[in-house]
């Protein structure tokens, strides 16, 4: 007990000292709300920080600063401010602060998403961009993804014959996990019949949940060693389990490659080819595990929840659903013909639906955080070395200054304009921008568009009894990804 009191007093002392020191480094900071001592503006974030920050930006402007515990955070909420951060000063904001839930994983420095933007990180990004996410590489593995989507359609046909409603988000998440796992390992990691959840899905899910929890250690760095809420200890178990699963798959492949050569050509083969280059390469069998983990964590939930939001918007907007179905039927033909990724370029309206969904429901609403490497001027204010920076992509995508009737779901707006998500149009940043833009973008867009087109091509969709397009609940739940609070349930009717 004495020890506990001592620790609490020590913590209070350290936090107060830090608070006083912090006050000295506030010269020319962007404007922002006055906070309480010690907690600063933490109480103002609420359960939906992206919404709270959007409202605060209306008072304090497109670049504002807040104090979250002992951490100073600048928030950009306009295309111009985002451009200054992502383009003009991208070098200064190339690194990320590391949340404690992320720091719990083994070999953190070998991740792509959280490693400092040094030469090793650049080499890894280059290999991903040139060897993994190129159109040619993705084309090579498209048959694996087609099979997964056909399995989903098959499963839904069975449900349709019983007239049962299905949880679209769960199915989309499991399918996306298998799409990623087939692209990386040429194997399913989730039961293709979706009956048992499968340990892999559970572990990935637990990492998402833990990473989405508010952790005081992130706002009071001096508390880090104590891990008072136990988040780091809890999530570490899931990380180790995933590493063990990957270990088994990598060992199996290494052994296969020693025998008569059967080239699978998947991401794992690309990474093992890199490992074989020895000293010339930044990759080893150990160091590819965090990278593979990144691809699963960053790729599955984001893409799954985008598919769920898209279907929710279509069920809420029957005329858009009708137009989309007409397009797939006209381009692909009857529902007995299998849809493939090569059909996507001929589906401009479905592509516009995906874009519109990502505008209204960006799965990573505040992008991933950045940290200032040195003092930087942004819009006439100073962001000091060590300050964190967030870009509120959600708020920018819904701002009437930059979008006509921003709260309406109108995919045709993207048919009339050249705005794209590749990080050059700063009013539309679902994948971020600058040097840390999402490298998985080409794969994500293929997976989401293919899955959505298949759902519309093979089925008509109805809401369960008692739910109408007007009463469908679209409330958001903030976490590591922005999800639907009440999971979407809909009835597939086979065509
Ligand atoms: C709808 C789907 C997706 C969305 C909306 C999305 C969004 C994002 C965003 C906003 C970032 C941060 C960018 C920044 O800091 O400016 C990011 C980073 C990242 N994403 Fe995605 N992502 C998606 C799918 C994927 C997929 C399928 C993969 C890979 C399989 C992936 C892998 C990554 C990685 C590795 C990073 C870290 C990059 C770095 O820090 O260098 N993402 N993503």
Read off φ and ψ for residue 74, nearest 5 degrees: -95, 140
How far away, in angstroms, is 265 Cα from ligand 1 center?
23
Nearest-angstrom CA–CA distance, 6 and 10: 6
How far away, in angstroms, is 444 Cα from ligand 1 center?
9
pTM of the prediction? 0.93
How far away, in angstroms, is 94 Cα from ligand 1 center?
15
C-beta 428 within 6 A of ligand 1: no
* Cα 275 versus chain centre, distance: 27
Atom index in ligand 1 nearest the CA of residue 429 equals 10
pLDDT for residue 1: 44
C-beta 436 within 6 A of ligand 1: yes
Which tens digits make up the pLDDT trace of 158-189? 999 999 899 999 999 999 999 999 999 999 88
C-beta 104 within 6 A of ligand 1: no
Read off φ and ψ for residue 45, nearest 5 degrees: -75, -40
C-beta 339 within 6 A of ligand 1: no
C-beta 423 within 6 A of ligand 1: no
pLDDT for residue 15: 53
Nearest-angstrom CA–CA distance, 376 and 374: 6
CATH classification of the domain holding 90: 1.10.630.10
Nearest-angstrom CA–CA distance, 370 and 76: 12
Nearest Cα to Cα of residue 457 among 465, 449, 445: 449
User: Domain of 36?
Assistant: 2-494
Tell how strand 388-391 and strand 71-76 pair up. parallel
Nearest-angstrom CA–CA distance, 242 and 104: 13
Task: For ligand 1, atom 20, name the residue with the nearest CA.
Answer: 438
Task: For ligand 1, atom 19, name the residue with the nearest CA.
Answer: 438
Task: For ligand 1, atom 27, name the residue with the nearest CA.
Answer: 299
C-beta 180 within 6 A of ligand 1: yes
pLDDT for residue 22: 54
Atom index in ligand 1 nearest the CA of residue 432 equals 16
Read off φ and ψ for residue 75, nearest 5 degrees: -125, 125
Nearest Cα to Cα of residue 354 among 346, 342, 362: 362
**Ligand 1 pocket: which of 298, 301, 310, 448 to mutate (most atoms within 8 A of CB):** 298
C-beta 382 within 6 A of ligand 1: no
- Residues of the chain scoring pLDDT < 70: 1-26, 192-198
**Burial of 3 (C-beta count, 10 Å sphere; 0-12/13-18/19+):** exposed
C-beta 294 within 6 A of ligand 1: yes
How far away, in angstroms, is 440 Cα from ligand 1 center?
6
pLDDT for residue 8: 55
Angle, nearest 10°, between helix axes 288-316 and 318-332?
110
pLDDT for residue 16: 56
Dihedral sign (CA 229, 230, 232, 238): negative
How far away, in angstroms, is 8 Cα from ligand 1 center?
38
pLDDT for residue 432: 98
Residues annotated in the binding site for heme, as ranges?
Answer: 438
C-beta 421 within 6 A of ligand 1: no
C-beta 299 within 6 A of ligand 1: yes
How far away, in angstroms, is 17 Cα from ligand 1 center?
37
Atom index in ligand 1 nearest the CA of residue 300 equals 27
Nearest Cα to Cα of residue 436 among 382, 396, 471, 389: 389
How far away, in angstroms, is 57 Cα from ligand 1 center?
25
pLDDT for residue 27: 87
Which tens digits make up the pLDDT trace of 235-254? 999 999 999 999 999 999 99
pLDDT for residue 70: 95
Nearest-angstrom CA–CA distance, 131 and 234: 35
Nearest Cα to Cα of residue 218 among 55, 103, 75: 103
Read off φ and ψ for residue 193, nearest 5 degrees: -85, 0
Q: What domain count does the chain have?
A: 1
Tell how strand 370-371 and strand 476-477 pair up. unpaired
C-beta 390 within 6 A of ligand 1: no
Tell how strand 489-494 and strand 459-462 pair up. antiparallel
Atom index in ligand 1 nearest the CA of residue 434 equals 16
pLDDT for residue 261: 73
C-beta 72 within 6 A of ligand 1: no
In the block, which residue shows the tokens 């962007």?
30
**Ligand 1 pocket: which of 440, 451, 452 to mutate (most atoms within 8 A of CB):** 440
Residues annotated in the binding site, as ranges?
Answer: 438
C-beta 113 within 6 A of ligand 1: yes
Q: Are 22 and 37 in contact (CB under 8 A)?
A: no
pLDDT for residue 192: 60
**Ligand 1 pocket: which of 438, 439, 442 to mutate (most atoms within 8 A of CB):** 438
């Amino acid at each position: 007990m004495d020890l506990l009191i001592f620790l609490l007093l020590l913590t209070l002392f350290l936090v107060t000292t830090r608070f006083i020191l912090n006050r000295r480094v506030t010269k020319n900071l962007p404007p922002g709300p006055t906070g309480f001592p010690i907690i600063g503006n933490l109480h103002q974030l609420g359960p939906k920080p992206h919404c709270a920050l959007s409202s605060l930006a209306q008072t304090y402007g497109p670049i504002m600063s807040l104090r979250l515990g002992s951490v100073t955070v600048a928030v950009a909420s306009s295309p111009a401010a985002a451009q200054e951060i992502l383009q003009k000063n991208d070098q200064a904001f190339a690194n990320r602060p590391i949340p404690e839930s992320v720091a719990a994983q083994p070999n953190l420095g070998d991740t792509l998403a959280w490693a400092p933007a040094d030469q090793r990180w650049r080499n890894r990004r280059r290999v991903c961009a040139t060897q993994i996410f190129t159109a040619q590489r993705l084309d090579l593995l498209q048959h694996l993804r087609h099979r997964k989507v056909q399995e989903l359609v098959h499963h839904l046909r069975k449900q349709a014959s019983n007239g049962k409603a299905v949880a679209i988000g769960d199915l989309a998440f499991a399918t996306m996990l298998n799409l990623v796992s087939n692209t990386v390992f040429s194997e399913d990691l989730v039961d293709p019949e979706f009956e048992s959840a499968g340990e892999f899905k559970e572990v990935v899910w637990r990492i998402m949940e833990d990473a989405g929890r508010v952790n005081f250690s992130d706002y009071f760095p001096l508390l880090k060693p104590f891990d008072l809420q136990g988040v780091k200890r809890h999530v570490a178990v899931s990380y180790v389990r995933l590493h063990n699963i990957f270990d088994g798959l990598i060992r199996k492949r290494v052994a296969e490659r020693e025998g008569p050569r059967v080239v699978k050509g998947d991401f794992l083969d690309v990474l093992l080819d890199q490992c074989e280059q020895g000293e010339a390469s930044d990759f080893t069998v150990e160091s590819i595990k965090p990278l593979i983990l990144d691809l699963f964590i960053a790729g599955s939930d984001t893409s799954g929840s985008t598919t769920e939001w898209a279907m929710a918007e279509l069920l809420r907007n029957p005329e858009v659903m009708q137009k989309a179905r007409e397009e797939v039927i006209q381009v692909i033909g009857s529902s007995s013909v299998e849809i493939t990724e090569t059909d996507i370029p001929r589906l401009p309206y479905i592509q516009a639906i995906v874009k519109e969904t990502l505008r209204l429901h960006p799965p990573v609403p505040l992008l991933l955080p950045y940290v200032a490497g040195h003092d930087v001027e942004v819009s006439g204010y100073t962001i000091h070395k060590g300050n964190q920076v967030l870009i509120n992509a959600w708020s920018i995508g819904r701002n009437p200054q930059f979008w006509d009737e921003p709260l309406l779901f109108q995919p045709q707006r993207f048919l009339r304009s050249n705005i794209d998500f590749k990080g050059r149009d700063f009013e539309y940043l679902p994948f971020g921008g600058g040097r840390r833009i999402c490298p998985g973008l080409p794969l994500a867009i293929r997976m989401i568009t293919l899955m959505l087109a298949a759902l519309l091509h093979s089925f008509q969709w109805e809401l369960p009894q008692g739910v109408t397009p007007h009463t469908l609940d679209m409330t958001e739940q903030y976490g590591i990804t922005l999800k639907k609070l009440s999971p979407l349930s809909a009835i597939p009717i086979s065509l």
